[in-house]
Amino acid sequence: MNVLIAGAGPTGLTLGIELARRGIAVRVIDKATEFFDGSRGDGLQPRTLEVFEDLGVLDEVLKQGRSVPLMKIHLSGQLVDERRMAEPVEPTADIPYPNAWMLGQSRTEKILRDKLAEYGVQVELDTAIVGFSQTTDVVTAELSTGETVTADYLVGADGGKSFVRKQLGIAFEGTTDESIRMLLGDVAADGLDHEVGYWFAAKDNPMSGIAMTPLSGGDQFQFGAPLDGEDADTSIEGLQALVDNYAGPGTAKLRDLTWSTVWRPNVRLAEKFRVGRVFIAGDAAHVHPPTGGQGLNTGVQDAYNLGWKLADGREEVLATYETERRTNAARVLGISEDLMQKHVDGDESALERGENTRQLDVSYRDLADTRPLTSGDRAPDAPVVDAEGNKVRLFELFRGPHETLLRFSPTTPSTHPHAVEITSPEAFAIYHAQPGDEILIRPDGYLA
Ligand SMILES: Cc1cc2nc3c(=O)[nH]c(=O)nc-3n(C[C@H](O)[C@H](O)[C@H](O)COP(=O)(O)OP(=O)(O)OC[C@H]3O[C@@H](n4cnc5c(N)ncnc54)[C@H](O)[C@@H]3O)c2cc1C
Tell which of 263, 292, 315 closes a domain.
263
Question: What pLDDT was estimated at residue 429?
Answer: 95
- Ligand 1 atom with the smallest distance to the CA of 13 is 25
Tell which of 210, 241, 263 closes a domain.
263
Q: Are residues 192 and 325 in the same domain?
A: no
CA of 90 to the centre of ligand 1 (A): 31
pLDDT band per the 50, 70, 90 thresholds, residue 374: low
pTM: 0.94
Q: Are residues 96 and 219 in the same domain?
A: yes
Task: Give the up-direction half-sphere exposure of residue 348: CA atoms within 13 A in the CB hemisphere.
Answer: 10
Q: pLDDT over 70 for what percent of the chain?
A: 92
Which residues sit opposite 211 in a β-bridge?
199, 224
Q: Which CATH number is 188's domain given?
A: 3.30.70.2450
* Pairwise CA distance, residues 341 & 430, whole Å: 36
pLDDT band per the 50, 70, 90 thresholds, residue 334: confident
Q: Are residues 159 and 189 in the same domain?
A: no
Ranking 6-20, 259-273, 423-437 by mean pLDDT, the lowest is 259-273
Task: With respect to residue 365, please indicate whether it lies within any of the assigned structural domains.
Answer: no
Q: Which CATH number is 111's domain given?
A: 3.50.50.60
Which of the two residues, 295 and 240, has the higher pLDDT score?
240
Q: 352, 100 in Cβ contact below 8 A?
A: no
CA of 8 to the centre of ligand 1 (A): 9
pLDDT tens digits for 182-206? Answer: 899 999 999 999 999 999 999 999 9
The alpha carbon of residue 301 and the mean position of all alpha carbons in its chain are separated, in whole angstroms, by 7
Task: With respect to residue 378, please indicate whether it lies within any of the assigned structural domains.
Answer: no
Q: Are residues 93 and 140 in the same domain?
A: no
Q: Are residues 55 and 77 in the same domain?
A: no
Pocket of ligand 1 (CB under 6 A): 6-12, 29-32, 40-43, 105, 128-129, 157-159, 163, 184, 263, 282-283, 290, 293-297, 299
How many domains does the chain divide into? 3
CA of 191 to the centre of ligand 1 (A): 32
Q: Are residues 249 and 349 in the same domain?
A: no
Of all protein residues, the one whose alpha carbon is nearest to atom 47 of ligand 1 is: 32
pLDDT tens digits for 112-144? Answer: 999 999 999 999 999 999 999 999 999 999 999
Of all protein residues, the one whose alpha carbon is nearest to atom 15 of ligand 1 is: 295
Residues spanned by the domain of 390: 383-441
Which residues sit opposite 198 in a β-bridge?
72, 212
Question: How many CB atoms are located within 10 Å of the residue 430 CB?
Answer: 20
Q: DSSP secondary-structure letter at 110?
A: H
- Exposure pattern of 347-372 as b/e (b: 16+ CB <10 Å)? ebebbeebebbbbbebbbeebeebee
pLDDT at 363 over 70: yes
* Pairwise CA distance, residues 403 & 419, whole Å: 9
Torsional class of 116: left (φ above 0), alpha (ψ -120 to 50), beta (otherwise): alpha
* Pairwise CA distance, residues 39 & 184, whole Å: 10
Task: With respect to residue 366, please indicate whether it lies within any of the assigned structural domains.
Answer: no
Q: Can you tell me whether residue 340 is helix, strand or coil?
A: helix
- CB-based contacts of 34: which residues, under 8 Å, 6+ apart? 125
- Exposure pattern of 219-248 as b/e (b: 16+ CB <10 Å)? ebbbbbbbbeeeeebeeeebbbebbbebbe
Task: With respect to residue 286, please indicate whether it lies within any of the assigned structural domains.
Answer: yes
